């Protein structure tokens, strides 16, 4: 405060009286302890005693802007005029100003402010060297809609960022903006209503009705943010903490202010600062009108700064938004970084900053360039004479680190040259950052990114050491923007600072730096590198090679542009190509660039990366059978020569012989072709999957091959593994078609089986040994001691789970050739195919992980079919048996009974909540289903059982079932029309209920489930197929458990199939249906599926059709394969 300001504040009369006290030397300064010793209570501030009657004590604040006195005049002025003044206050302040202590105070305050300002810039300068802070980009649309909102933002007029609040008005949009706007009286109530889509009443004439009112797209970001804020603070509100007293206001957490202001950037809103409100039409991006001057002040340097328009007020923590003079400024990132430390000081009322001589060099080289980026800076003449202003000539020296290890990184030394001064910006604390400039360092040559292997001799400058100007004489002005551009490039590519250098260690980051970073760097500075760094430069991989057959193996020799590829790294290079890596780093530290490898070579890498081994000579060795699908690919490769021997191997050619005359059956033409295909694979010591449609005689074709091999190559045992229910069926078929083959079923107790195996090892009097999947798991170790000619899996889908004990057991069997028989080689996903092929031809489809990576989600279906085609033979009945009667399929919908529907609805609502809870326990539907699979399927099964008959779940249920009544309507008519019926159900308890109803209706039936012994199964099949010839035992309805009787049975005596409870695996249903629709059937076959209306069964049927498409896409045609159920598909099953 000056004397003139004091006179205006006090008025002439009081000022004159106070000046009289001062002139009469009636004022002295005392300490607080002196006052305490005299018994006088002291206020805060400097203490003065004025000699009056009585004596007065005055406390003056250090900036002389306020004082306290206990006299009557002071109290009167404060009460009447709001002025804290009296003659004693005037006298004390005049004494204080005259003493010089006020100047000392203001000088000290300025120095402290200078220290604070400079320290504020330190993190900015150093952090921008190597750290990039992420920026959240959110669109900031204008608010315009059929219904729009206007916001009022409330802040506080002080330097510290105080919590802000927002209020809203809402109303209908008018083109002339004349529509009435309604204040939101309760932000919590409005936001809860908006999120729950519930009505919120504003007045009798306006209610927010989200059912038909909605905000347009540009307004949604603001509403989403407000809902997010409210959701964050609501728990505290509910706990009783009132974050704001006025319900019309929503508090804005400081961390969210930037996001809010970005959203409002183009939106009109009101801003309340203290008691004043400002209409903000838009947030301006103009530069803040900041003026600064820098000059000497004695031995110090003084900075003065001011902003035209008043005191700036930061609105967010990052300083992106600043309020000034009725407007809101949005500062660009570079201006914000340079100005924010200064703006915070100006906002607190400090505008003068003083720096000591030891700080002068940093002020000119670091602070001044920063300020000049964003403000108008006037430099005084005295200071201007001391400033050195030279052009920046930067250099970067690149070197390799850890040359002895593959994981070594690269380092960069940065030098900023100004005239004859060179600066190391990353010099460790305490070391000299400035040195005398010299030429390029020894051992480094210039790096040309367009021709990296051409060494350019650097300029050599042998400067004579000269005496560097002493600090305080001349001051270097550095090019902050130019320096930062270099540092930003290094930072952007991931370099980190350590011990005076910047380092890059990530292999991906190093590659990106070589490809793009050095080019970018060379545009702004000179780049030099060491020899070891230059050797790391990526070289393009342009592969070429030769493929041929030798010693029964498919061999490939591969090399790159610069010669042979390192043999020990060939497989790893192929794996990198398969995984579509951009580069491969060799053990010597150099890099191969894989970016320009052609698509044809990438396809080869997909096929062979996991399939071969590398010989010491560097040649890739693969099994010859891989030529079957690689031949056409190899022929089309650029720079690959392929020998004719590869073409011959690809055709799997082997002369075939006719079918043995001793076979007690005449093979159809397609069966002859199947026999020849099996025979060719056997002669080549290969295996295959015979995947003919159900009912086409896969068993007969396999028996023909076993008979042929025995006649051609002599006796040698073969092993057949089949479901338990089919073991005696195999025995029967062998005895019927090839009685010359000695066949035996391995069953009975473990002791009995062990004795039988030991006997076989000694006598060798069995040609075909038949066992079951359950027994192979127990006897695998004993059977593993045999050498079999064939190992044959019937219904091979039983090993679709590659991790099962059964799948592992059959893989341990030693056999010359392995064959799998299955009408459904894939039921759910491609991984089941891999498991079967891993038995037939181990390794052919690579490892499970590699296979799932290439095909697990249904991708590359055509490529997979190409691989399967030589070793998987599938024919459909419609293609090879045109004389086979047609199959008519029909779905019949049953209306549930009222009591059944009540049970279903109640159970569905209960189970839906449980399933939602299960799926909600993890992040995604598929993974959640995987972890809760058993419980989810159990819930679905319960609903399916209710569809069949509620009594399956509720013992005390007394009502009926709509589906059962539908069945009892269908059967009598069908039987009267002469049809004979197979009825399948997955639930044996449902079959028991049906048996009871059939008995009550006088309908004879037969029954088969998993408990039926194998011998009895054969007898039941013969009895049913005999029909009327069975006499009193004749029955026209055969009730069969789907799992026990869905495969391996020949029931052509029927001509109608009823699926009582459809499931979503159509392959299982088709297998069951083909017990009837097969060779030997002379009548058309009707297939009926019964489902209950508006229930889970309709969803199951839809999914069944998708599963059917899955099989067709891999085994026949198509591009992609649907795989597992999603969360949405599961929840859809639980809808009414």
Here the tokens at position 613 are 């081994």
Cα torsion angle, 184, 187, 191, 192, sign: negative
The number of beta carbons lying within 10 Å of the beta carbon of residue 17 is 17
- Say how far residue 193 (Cα) sits from the centre of its chain: 33
The tens digit of pLDDT for each residue in 856-891 reads 776 777 778 877 888 899 988 778 877 777 888 888
336, burial (CB in 10 Å: exposed 0-12, middle 13-18, buried 19+): buried
Q: What is the mean predicted confidence (pLDDT) over 804-832? A: 87
What DSSP line would sit under 232-284, residue for residue? HHHHHHHTT--S-S-TT-EEE-HHHHHHHHHHTTTS-EEEEETTEEEEES--B
Is pLDDT of 1136 > 50? Answer: yes
Can you tell me the distance from the alpha carbon of 710 to that of 712, in angstroms, rounded to the nearest whole number?
Answer: 6
Dihedral angle computed from the Cα positions of residues 799, 801, 802 and 804, in that order, rounded to the nearest 10 degrees: -80
Q: What is the H or E stretch that residue 753 is in?
A: helix 750-763
Q: Residue with structure tokens 């085609």? A: 869
Q: Are 576 and 646 in contact (CB under 8 A)?
A: no
- Say how far residue 748 (Cα) sits from the centre of its chain: 53
Specify the length of the chain in residues.
Answer: 1136
The number of beta carbons lying within 10 Å of the beta carbon of residue 914 is 15
pLDDT higher at 933 or 463:
933
Can you tell me the distance from the alpha carbon of 846 to that of 1091, in angstroms, rounded to the nearest whole number?
Answer: 42
Q: Can you give the pLDDT at residue 677?
A: 92
425, burial (CB in 10 Å: exposed 0-12, middle 13-18, buried 19+): buried
| In 618-666, beta strands by DSSP E | 619-623, 640-642
Phi, psi of 1130 (to 5 degrees): -65, -50
Per DSSP, the three-state class of 531 is helix
Can you tell me the distance from the alpha carbon of 1031 to that of 322, in angstroms, rounded to the nearest whole number?
Answer: 102
Q: Can you give the pLDDT at residue 273?
A: 79
Per DSSP, the three-state class of 1039 is strand
415, burial (CB in 10 Å: exposed 0-12, middle 13-18, buried 19+): buried
The tens digit of pLDDT for each residue in 168-215 reads 888 766 544 556 777 888 888 888 888 887 888 888 887 877 766 666
pLDDT higher at 243 or 385:
385
Q: Can you give the pLDDT at residue 850?
A: 78
Q: Residue with structure tokens 């099994």? A: 623
By C-alpha distance, which of 986, 942, 1004, 994 is closest to 965? Answer: 994
Q: How confident is the model at residue 157 (pLDDT cuts 50, 70, 90)?
A: very low
Per DSSP, the three-state class of 650 is helix
Per DSSP, the three-state class of 553 is strand
Q: Can you give the pLDDT at residue 453?
A: 67
The number of beta carbons lying within 10 Å of the beta carbon of residue 670 is 17
In the chain, what is the straight-line distance between the N-terminal and C-terminal CA atoms, in Å? 82
Q: Are 504 and 495 in contact (CB under 8 A)?
A: yes
Q: Can you give the pLDDT at residue 1135?
A: 65
Can you tell me the distance from the alpha carbon of 710 to that of 701, in angstroms, rounded to the nearest whole number?
Answer: 15
Is pLDDT of 123 > 50? Answer: no
Q: Tell me the whole-structure pTM to 2 decimals.
A: 0.48
Q: Can you give the pLDDT at residue 160?
A: 44
* Helix intervals (H) in 348-385: 357-362, 368-372, 381-384
pLDDT higher at 266 or 283:
283
Dihedral angle computed from the Cα positions of residues 207, 208, 210 and 213, in that order, rounded to the nearest 10 degrees: 90
Can you tell me the distance from the alpha carbon of 971 to that of 259, in angstroms, rounded to the nearest whole number?
Answer: 70
Q: How confident is the model at residue 788 (pLDDT cuts 50, 70, 90)?
A: very high
The pairing of strands 539-540 and 544-550 is: unpaired
Q: Can you give the pLDDT at residue 265?
A: 83
The tens digit of pLDDT for each residue in 26-53 reads 888 888 777 776 667 667 778 888 888 8
Helix axes 254-263, 220-238, angle to 10 degrees: 160
Is pLDDT of 1133 > 90? Answer: no
pLDDT higher at 241 or 662:
662
The β-bridge partners of 553 are 550, 623
Is pLDDT of 275 > 80? Answer: no
Per the omega criterion (within 30 degrees of 0), is the bond before 606 cis? no
The tens digit of pLDDT for each residue in 391-428 reads 999 999 999 886 544 457 899 999 999 888 888 888 77
3-state DSSP of 15-63: HHHHHHHHHCCCEEEECHHHHHHCCCCCCCCEEEEECCCCCEEEEECCC
The β-bridge partners of 252 are 164
């Amino acid at each position: 405060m000056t004397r003139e300001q004091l006179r205006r504040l006090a008025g002439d009369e009081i000022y004159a009286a106070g000046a009289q006290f001062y002139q009469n030397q009636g004022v002295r300064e005392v300490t607080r302890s002196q006052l305490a010793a005299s018994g006088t209570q002291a206020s805060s501030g400097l203490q003065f005693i004025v000699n009056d009657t009585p004596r007065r004590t005055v406390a003056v604040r250090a900036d002389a802007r306020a004082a306290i006195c206990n006299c009557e005049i002071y109290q009167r002025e404060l009460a009447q005029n709001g002025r804290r003044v009296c003659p004693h206050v005037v006298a004390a302040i005049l004494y204080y100003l005259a003493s010089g202590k006020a100047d000392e105070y203001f000088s000290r305050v300025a120095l402290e402010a200078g220290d604070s300002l400079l320290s504020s810039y330190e993190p900015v300068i150093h952090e921008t060297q190597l750290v990039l802070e992420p920026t959240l980009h959110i669109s900031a649309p204008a608010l315009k809609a059929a219904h729009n909102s206007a916001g009022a933002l409330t802040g506080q007029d002080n330097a510290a960022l105080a919590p802000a609040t927002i209020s809203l008005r809402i109303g209908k949009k008018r083109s002339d903006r004349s529509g009435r706007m309604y204040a939101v009286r309760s932000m919590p109530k409005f936001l809860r209503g908006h999120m729950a889509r519930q009505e919120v009443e504003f007045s009798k004439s306006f209610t927010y009705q989200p059912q038909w009112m909605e905000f347009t797209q540009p307004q949604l970001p603001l509403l989403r943010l407000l809902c997010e804020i409210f959701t964050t603070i609501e728990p505290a509100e509910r706990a009783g903490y009132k974050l704001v007293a006025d319900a019309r206001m929503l508090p804005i957490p400081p961390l969210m202010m930037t996001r809010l202001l970005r959203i409002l950037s183009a939106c009109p809103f009101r801003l309340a600062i203290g008691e004043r409100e400002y209409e903000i039409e838009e947030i301006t991006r103009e530069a803040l009108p900041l003026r600064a001057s820098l000059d000497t002040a004695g031995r110090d340097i003084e900075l003065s700064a001011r902003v035209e328009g008043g005191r700036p007020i930061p609105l967010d923590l990052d300083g992106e938004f600043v309020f000034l003079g009725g407007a809101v400024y949005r500062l660009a990132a570079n201006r914000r970084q340079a100005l924010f430390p200064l703006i915070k000081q100006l906002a607190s009322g400090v505008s003068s900053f003083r720096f000591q001589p030891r700080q002068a060099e940093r002020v000119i080289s670091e602070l001044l360039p920063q300020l000049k980026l964003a403000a108008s800076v006037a430099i005084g003449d005295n200071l201007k004479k001391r400033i050195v202003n030279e052009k920046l000539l930067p250099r970067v020296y690149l070197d390799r680190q850890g040359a002895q290890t593959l994981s070594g990184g690269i380092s960069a030394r940065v030098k900023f040259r100004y005239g004859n001064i060179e600066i190391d910006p990353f010099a460790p604390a305490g070391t000299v950052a400035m040195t005398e400039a010299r030429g390029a360092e020894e051992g480094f040559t210039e790096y040309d990114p367009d021709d990296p292997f051409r060494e350019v001799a650097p300029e050599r400058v042998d400067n004579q050491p000269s005496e560097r100007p002493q600090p305080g004489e001349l001051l270097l002005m550095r090019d902050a923007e130019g320096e930062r551009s270099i540092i930003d490039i290094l930072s952007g590519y991931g370099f980190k600072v350590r011990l005076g250098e910047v380092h890059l260690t990530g292999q991906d980051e190093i590659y990106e730096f070589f490809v793009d970073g050095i080019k970018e760097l060379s545009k702004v500075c000179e780049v030099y590198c060491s020899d070891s760094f230059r050797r790391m430069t990526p070289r393009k991989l342009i592969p070429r090679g030769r493929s041929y057959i030798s010693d029964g193996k498919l061999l490939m020799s591969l090399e790159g542009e610069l010669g042979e590829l390192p043999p020990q790294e060939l497989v790893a290079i192929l794996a990198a190509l398969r995984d579509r890596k951009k580069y491969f780093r060799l053990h010597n530290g150099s890099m191969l660039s894989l970016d320009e490898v052609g698509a044809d070579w990438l396809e080869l890498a997909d096929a062979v990366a996991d399939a071969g081994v590398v010989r010491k000579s560097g040649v890739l060795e693969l099994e010859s059978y891989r030529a079957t699908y690689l031949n056409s690919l190899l022929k089309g490769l650029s720079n690959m020569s392929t020998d004719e021997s590869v073409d011959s191997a690809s055709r799997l050619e082997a002369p075939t012989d006719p079918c043995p005359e001793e076979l007690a059956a005449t093979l159809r033409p397609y069966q002859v072709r199947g026999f020849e295909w099996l025979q060719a694979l056997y002669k080549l010591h290969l295996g295959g999957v015979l995947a003919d449609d159900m009912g086409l005689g896969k068993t007969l074709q396999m028996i023909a091959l076993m008979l042929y091999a025995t006649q051609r190559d002599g006796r040698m045992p073969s092993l057949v593994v089949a479901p338990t229910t089919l073991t005696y069926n195999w025995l029967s078929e062998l005895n019927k078609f090839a009685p010359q083959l000695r066949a035996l079923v391995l069953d009975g107790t473990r002791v009995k089986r062990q004795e039988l195996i030991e006997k076989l090892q000694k006598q060798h009097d069995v040609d075909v040994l038949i066992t079951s999947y359950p027994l192979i798991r127990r006897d695998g170790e004993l059977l593993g001691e045999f050498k079999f000619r064939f190992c044959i899996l019937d219904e091979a889908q039983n090993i679709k789970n590659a991790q099962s004990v059964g799948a592992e057991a059959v893989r341990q069997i030693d056999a010359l050739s392995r064959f799998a028989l299955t009408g459904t080689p894939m039921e759910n996903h491609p991984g089941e195919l891999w498991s079967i092929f891993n038995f037939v031809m181990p390794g052919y489809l690579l490892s499970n992980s590699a296979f799932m990576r290439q095909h697990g989600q249904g991708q590359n279906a055509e490529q997979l079919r190409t691989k399967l085609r030589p070793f998987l033979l599938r024919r459909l009945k419609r293609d090879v048996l045109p004389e086979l009667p047609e199959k008519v399929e029909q779905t019949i919908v049953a209306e549930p009974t009222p009591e059944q529907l009540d049970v279903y609805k109640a159970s569905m609502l209960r189970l839906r909540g449980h399933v939602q809870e299960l799926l909600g326990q993890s992040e995604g539907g598929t993974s959640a289903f995987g972890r809760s699979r058993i419980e989810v399927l159990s819930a679905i099964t319960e609903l399916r059982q209710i569809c069949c008959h509620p009594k399956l779940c509720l013992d005390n249920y007394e009502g009926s079932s709509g589906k059962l009544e539908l069945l009892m309507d269908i059967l009598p008519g069908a039987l009267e029309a002469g049809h004979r019926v197979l009825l399948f159900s997955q639930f044996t308890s449902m079959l028991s209920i049906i048996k009871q109803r059939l008995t009550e209706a006088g309908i004879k039936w037969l029954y088969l489930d998993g408990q039926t012994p194998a011998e009895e199964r054969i007898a039941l099949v013969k009895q049913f197929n005999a029909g009327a010839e069975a006499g009193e035992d004749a029955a026209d309805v055969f009730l069969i458990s789907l799992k026990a009787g869905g495969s391996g049975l020949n029931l052509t005596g029927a001509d109608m199939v009823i699926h009582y409870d459809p499931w979503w695996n159509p392959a299982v249903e088709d297998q069951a249906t083909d017990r009837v629709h097969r060779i030997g059937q002379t009548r058309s076959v009707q297939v009926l599926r019964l489902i209950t209306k508006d229930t889970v069964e309709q969803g199951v049927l839809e999914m069944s059709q998708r599963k059917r498409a899955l099989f067709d896409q891999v085994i026949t045609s198509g591009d992609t394969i649907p795989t597992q159920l999603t969360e949405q598909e599961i929840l859809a099953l639980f809808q009414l």
